[in-house]
Amino acid sequence: MNENLTIIEHPLVRHKLTLMRKKETPSSSFRQLLWEISMLLAYEITRDLPLQEVSVETPVCRTKAPLLSGKKLALVSIMRAGNGLLDGILELIPAARVGFVGLYRDEETLEPVEYYCKVPDQLENRLVIAVDPMLATGNSSVAAITRLKEAGAKDIRLLSLLAAPEGVACMKEAHPDVHVFTASLDEKLNDQGYIVPGLGDAGDRMFGTC
C-alpha cells in the first residue's frame, strides 16, 4: 500500500494496455492506443479538480452549474516518449499550458541527461501534470521533477502509463509530495532497466525506431 500511488484499473485502460504490450502491435496502432488511453488516464488524474457553481442561462431557464475553478493546469512532457501521452490529454484539456523537459537515458549508467527545458510561466500557481509513459528506474522522472521544482512548481502529479516498483520507490524517496498515477504497477526492472513485463521501449514502439 503506497499512499503516493494510484493505479487506474478501468477495464478500457486495462484492455488497451494489453494491446499495447503485445510485441506485434505496429507503431500506428500503438500510437492510436496511447492517444486513447491517455484520455482515459487524464480523466482519472483530474477527477478531484475543484469546481465552482456559476450562473448560466440555458434555452429554458437560468440555473447554476459547475465549472472548473482553482489553479490553472500545466502539462509537462518528459521527452521524447512523454509527447505520446500529451496529445490525448490536450484533447481533453485544450486550454492547459504545455512544457517540455528533454532527457535521455545514458544506456550505460541509466542516468538521465538533460538536453532541453522549456516550461510555462508561473508554474508556482499551477497544477503541474508531468507525463512520462514509463516510470522505470525513476531517474528521469525524478530529475525532470527536480527541474520543475527549480522552475517554481509546487503542486505536481506524475502520470505514467507503466510503473516499476523501483521507480515508484525512487520517486517516493526523492519527491514524497508527488502523487504518481499509472495504469499498471508491473513486476520489476530487468538488468537493462526495462520494465518487466512492460511493453519495451515506449519511444521506439511509438515512433518505429530501435
Q: x/- contact string, 105-134, with ligand URA (CB under 6 A)?
A: -----------------------------x
- Stretch in the footprint of ligand URA (CB under 6 A) among 36-44, 67-75, 115-123, 189-197: 189-197
State the nearest-atom distance from the C-beta of 113 to ligand URA, in Å.
Answer: 14
> In the structure grid, which three cell numbers stand for residue 110, read together?
541509466
Q: What is the C-alpha to C-alpha distance for residues 200 and 81, in angstroms, rounded to an integer?
A: 12
Task: Indicate which residue of 18, 109, 177, 209 is catalytic.
Answer: 109
Round to the nearest angstrom and report the end-to-end CA distance of the chain: 36
Kindly state the smallest distance separating residue 93's Cβ from ligand URA, in Å.
24
Number of H helices and number of E strands within the chain?
Answer: 6, 12
* Residues in Cβ contact with 21 at an 8 Å cutoff, skipping those fewer than 6 apart: 197, 198, 199
Asked about 6 being catalytic, the answer comes back as no
Cβ distance 89 to 129 under 8 Å? yes
Is residue 106 part of the annotated active site? The answer reads no
The closest residue (CB) to ligand URA is 136
Sole binder of ligand URA in the list 101, 136, 151, 153 (CB under 6 A): 136
The catalytic residues are 105, 109, 201, 204
